């Protein structure tokens, strides 16, 4: 019987969401008959988890995350806790888990794992570089620029941003996820733009400023090289932020999305192209905006999408007639 280690928790702002995703996946794999180790690498070689930890309904604070050190990941991966596993399933969301760092450690230690390589994860996590590759592959993506922390936010610069992004802008950490640190600015107000940049810089040294695309929110899950039914995301109010993602009842999900067949096929094709140009494998989720003219715009590729009870990939899998256990079995076999 294979022993499968499921990594969860970690030291990123998405620590709590990772516990929820990882626990769901671990339970599904366990039900398939595998031995499962639930592992939090934030605690190094002592990272074995015996019971589900209490999870607040908010992201962890800087003080909470400061208790953990990245070096613990090395201690964890090189310990028997991980090296004795036949396969690792990485459910660490965000920095140090989804950005290629954990994948690099696993590759260096010759530990087989499910999902994309370290290089693919690094490219996908760096939204600006990913968008360069999307453009090269002919995948449309909203216009963007990046601003590094410490950039002087002069009236002239703020005016240039307002002029360039007349219909509004989305400001977010260039490397981040779960909509942590993201703002949508449609007012054109200089104070709002500056506040959005300062918020993004709390979570990454580089802020991505991207053209806001009014329209519909779509996402495409890709599993073992095939697309699952497209999902439309309709938050009850505001935009699809952290609360709307992880609080049941705050968002409606239409799966399969009600789309013209031609648009549906086009979006699925673009999703595969985005997945492939980054060199991804295993499971990914590709996010889009569909504008008022019916044109899709690729936002990003998530190499470790959420697997919680409110997450999008399990919903798409269910629409395809696949349980979470069957989805996990497919990924294990594809490895």
Which sequence positions are flagged as catalytic? 14, 178, 246, 285, 287, 300, 302, 306
Exposure of 56 by Cβ count < 10 A (0-12 exposed, 13-18 middle, 19+ buried)? exposed
Bond prior to 77 in cis (omega within 30° of 0): no
Distances (CA, A) of 159 to 138, 155, 163: 30, 6, 6
Instruction: Look up residue 12 and give its two tokens.
Output: 């990123």
- Which run of H or E residues covers position 318? helix 312-319
**Residues with Cβ within 8 Å of residue 63, at least 6 apart in sequence:** none
Spatial distance between the Cα atoms of 140 and 294, rounded to a whole number of angstroms = 13
**313, 130, 300: which is closest to 222 by C-alpha?**
313
Question: How would DSSP label each residue in 19-48?
Answer: HHHHHHHHHHHHHTT-EEEEE-GGGGGG-B
Residue 237 burial class via C-beta count within 10 angstroms: exposed 0-12, middle 13-18, buried 19 and up: exposed
Three-class SS state of 58 = coil
Give the DSSP letter of residue 192.
H
Name residue 87's beta-bridge partners.
4
Residue with tokens 């990924």: 331
């Amino acid at each position: 019987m294979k022993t499968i280690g499921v990594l969860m928790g970690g030291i990123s702002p998405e620590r709590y969401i990772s516990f929820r995703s990882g626990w769901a996946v671990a339970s599904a794999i366990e039900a398939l008959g595998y031995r499962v180790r639930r592992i939090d690498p934030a605690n190094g070689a002592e990272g074995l988890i015996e019971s589900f930890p209490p999870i607040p309904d908010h992201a962890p604070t800087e003080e909470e995350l400061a208790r953990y050190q990245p070096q613990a990941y090395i201690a964890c991966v090189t310990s028997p806790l991980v090296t004795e596993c036949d396969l690792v399933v990485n459910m660490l969301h965000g920095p140090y888990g989804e950005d290629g760092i954990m994948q690099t450690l696993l590759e260096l230690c010759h530990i087989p794992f499910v999902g994309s390589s370290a290089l693919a994860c690094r490219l996908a996590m760096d939204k600006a570089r990913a968008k360069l590759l999307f453009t090269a592959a002919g995948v449309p993506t909203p216009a963007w620029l990046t601003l590094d922390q410490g950039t002087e936010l002069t009236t002239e610069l703020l005016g240039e941003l307002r002029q360039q992004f007349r219909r509004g802008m989305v400001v977010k950490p260039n490397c981040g996820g779960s909509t942590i640190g993201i703002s949508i600015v449609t007012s054109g107000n200089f104070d709002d733009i500056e506040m959005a940049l300062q918020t993004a810089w709390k979570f990454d040294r580089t802020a991505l400023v991207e053209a806001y695309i009014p329209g519909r929110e779509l996402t495409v899950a890709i599993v073992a090289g095939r697309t699952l039914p497209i999902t439309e995301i309709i938050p009850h109010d505001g935009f699809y932020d952290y609360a709307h993602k992880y609080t049941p009842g705050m968002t409606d999900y239409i799966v399969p999305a009600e789309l013209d067949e031609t648009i549906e096929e086009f979006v699925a094709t673009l999703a595969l192209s985005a997945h492939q140009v980054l060199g991804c494998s295993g499971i990914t989720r590709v996010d889009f905006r569909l504008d008022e003219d019916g044109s899709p715009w690729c936002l990003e590729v998530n190499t470790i999408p959420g697997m919680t009870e409110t997450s999008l990939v399990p919903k798409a899998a269910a629409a395809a007639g696949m349980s979470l256990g069957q989805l996990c079995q497919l990924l294990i076999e594809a490895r």
